[in-house]
Amino acid sequence: MMKKLVCALVATVMALGCWGQESEFGMWFKNRTLRVDYHRVGNAEMQSVRLVRYVAKNGQWGGSLTQLIDPMNNGDYRVVVKDAESGKAIYSRTYGSLFSEYCGTDEGKKKMVTYEEVVQVPMPLKAVDIVMETRGKDQEFHTTGMFHFDPKKNKPERRQSRHAKRLQYKGNSNWKVDVAIVAQGYEKEPAKLKSDFERMKNVILSEEPFASRKDDFNIWGIEGDAGAKYGTLGADRYLMTDELFKLHDLLDGVPFDHILILVNNDKYGGGGIYNFYAVSSTNKMSDMVTPHELGHSIGGLADEYVDENLSYTEIYKGEFEPVEPNITSLKDFESKWKDMLPEGTPIPTEPVKDLGKRDCGPLGVYEGAGYQSKGLYRPVTNCMMNHYAHFCPVCQKRLNEVFDLYTR
C-alpha cells in the first residue's frame, strides 16, 4: 500500500515537472511550425544571411515541447529565437550546411556564392528576433544576421499540405524522432517505391543504437523531386541538393525532425550534414551508406576516415578542438571520450590489424580522422563513420543523447 502511494506521488511530481516545461513552451509558442527560408551569401572570408520568406507549415510542430534550448555545442551554425521584448532566448538549435563545406574548398576562399537554407522553429505567439549565428575561428558563435517576426504583422505564406505515408508510426511527433524519407526518381516505378520505402525503414531501424530505440521513431515516406545530384563540391560520389526550398515544399504538413533523401539510382553516393539533411541512393551499398549519413545528419558525427584528396579537407584545420564528439585534436580531450578509456590506454593507440569486417576493435585514441592522417584522432580502429563497421561506443553514446532530446 505504502509502495503504491509513493508511486502515485512520484508520478504526480513527474507529471508536474513535465507540465512545467510544457507550459514554458505554451507561454511562447503554438504547437505549429514557422519555416524560415533564407539565402546564405558569401565565401570563406565574409558571409551574410538574407530572408526570403516565412512559411506557416500545415500540421503540428514535430519537435520537442520540453527541450527548447539546444544543449549540444555542435555544428557551424545556430539559430536562436529571442523574445523581442525581453531579449530572452526561448528556442535554439545548432546545425550545419553545405555552405561551410564550400568555404573549405579552394574556390570557396574567393568566389561568392548563394546557398538556400531553411530552419524550422516553433510558431511564436509574440514578436521575436530570429538570430542567425555562425561559429567563428575562435570556435564561438557570432551573430551573422537577424530576422524579426511579429505574428501580428507578418503574414507567412502557405503551402499545400503533402500526404506522407506512415511507414512506422509510434506516437505523437512531439515525443518521437521523426524521419521523413523523400524518394526521388520513382515516377515510373510505383512498385519499387513501395519496396524501397520498406527496405529503407528497415535499414534505418536495424543498426545500433537505432535498433534498441526502434519505438522512439516515426518514419514518413514522401515521393517527389528533391533536386539531389552527384558531383557536389567536385566529388563524384557526393550526392546532395542545393534546392532546399523545393525540398521543404515537399515536406509541408509532415512533422519531421530529420530528412533522408533517397535517390533511385544504382550509382554509389550519399551525403549528410548535421540537422540539415542526409542523402542516400539505391546502390547495393546503401544499407551501409544510409546509417553512416544519418550519423552525420542526426548525430552530428564527424567522418573518422582519412582521405587527403578530398576538396573540403580544410574544415578541421586550426588550433582548436573540433566540435564533433567522435574526433579529437587532443587540445581538449577531456571534453571527448577520455572518461570512457580503459586505464593505461596508450596515446596514440596502435590500430588492430585483421579485424572482422564490421568490428570496431577496442576503444583507444587512434591517429588519423576527419580526412587527415596526422593531428586528428578517432576512438576505434573501425566505425560506421569509418569503413562502415558498427557505430563505435563514442558514436552510440552521442546518438542516444540526441534521441533523448526528442523523446524526453
Closest CB 196 distance from Zn ion, rounded Å? 22
Of 10 and 340, which has the nearer Cβ to Zn ion? Answer: 340
Of 223 and 303, which has the nearer Cβ to Zn ion? Answer: 303
What nine digits make up the cell of 149?
517576426
Q: How far is CA 155 from the centre of its chain?
A: 29
Whether 32 and 120 have beta carbons less than 8 Å apart is answered as no
Whether 240 and 271 have beta carbons less than 8 Å apart is answered as yes
Of 221 and 271, which has the nearer Cβ to Zn ion? Answer: 271
Judged by the rule CB under 5 A, the positions of this chain that interact with Zn ion are 303, 326, 383, 385, 392, 395
* Rounded Cα distance, 326 and 304, in Å: 8
What nine digits make up the cell of 179?
524521419
Burial level of 244, CB count in 10 A (0-12/13-18/19+)? buried
DSSP annotation of 301 reads P
Of 65 and 383, which has the nearer Cβ to Zn ion? Answer: 383
Closest CB 385 distance from Zn ion, rounded Å? 5
Beta partners for residue 273, in sequence order: 277
403: left (phi over 0), alpha (psi -120 to 50) or beta: alpha
Closest CB 363 distance from Zn ion, rounded Å? 10
Closest CB 293 distance from Zn ion, rounded Å? 7
Phi, psi of 204 (to 5 degrees): -60, -40
Of 204 and 383, which has the nearer Cβ to Zn ion? Answer: 383
* Rounded Cα distance, 368 and 328, in Å: 10
Show Cβ contacts of residue 66 under 8 Å, excluding neighbours closer than 6 positions: 18, 21, 22, 25, 408
Closest CB 378 distance from Zn ion, rounded Å? 7
Closest CB 359 distance from Zn ion, rounded Å? 13
Closest CB 13 distance from Zn ion, rounded Å? 38
Of 181 and 235, which has the nearer Cβ to Zn ion? Answer: 235
Of 127 and 233, which has the nearer Cβ to Zn ion? Answer: 233
* Rounded Cα distance, 275 and 258, in Å: 7
